[in-house]
Amino acid sequence: MGFLDAILGRSKPVRPDLDQLFALPSAAVTLEAAADFRPTGLGSVCFASVEGGAFSRIQEEAQGLLDGSVEFTQDAYGYTWLLARHAPDDVAGLVNDLHAVNTSLEEAGFGPQLLCSLIGFRDGRDRPLALVYLYKRGTFYPFAPQPGGGEKRDNPLELQARAMLGDDLTIEKDLARWFPVWGAPGL
């Protein structure tokens, strides 16, 4: 970062560190021990849709890489979601799959289209919670929609999860970047 950037308050963007995803299994243990949130075995990767043969090859590669246990959907905003499934107690396997998909997309030149990855949790009262990794920020945040539909968040639960996970994950400090991922596959 140059002198002029420092004076004008500009900063270099954070370089994504996909290896941070490997901290999710320990975060899952923390969530279960502290708040009875258990992994659902579902995780997803979100990216801006891309057309063309190269992207079709990436989809085929992801299908092969994940033994066909993956599905692609498109949301109302035009983003593509890849949903991966594992046994709920195989968080490490799920994280490996999400990491592999992110890495494949990045290496194929689709890094700028990557938005986020998430894994889902539920507690004994069936409240949903997702841990979301922001690709372009290199940070995580909890997202907790209120059960029963609608687009309302459980902000106290999100803040509670942030406090619990501060030692396990690099939590996004700017709450304005805790974007809602309504209807995300895996949630």
Residue showing tokens 């593509």: 80
Q: Which two tokens stand for residue 58?
A: 């990436």
pLDDT in tens, 83-131: 999 999 999 999 999 999 999 888 888 888 999 999 999 999 999 999 9
**Model-level pTM?**
0.88
Backbone phi, then psi, for 129, in 5-degree steps?
A: -150, 140
pLDDT in tens, 40-87: 999 999 998 776 676 677 778 778 878 767 898 888 888 989 999 999
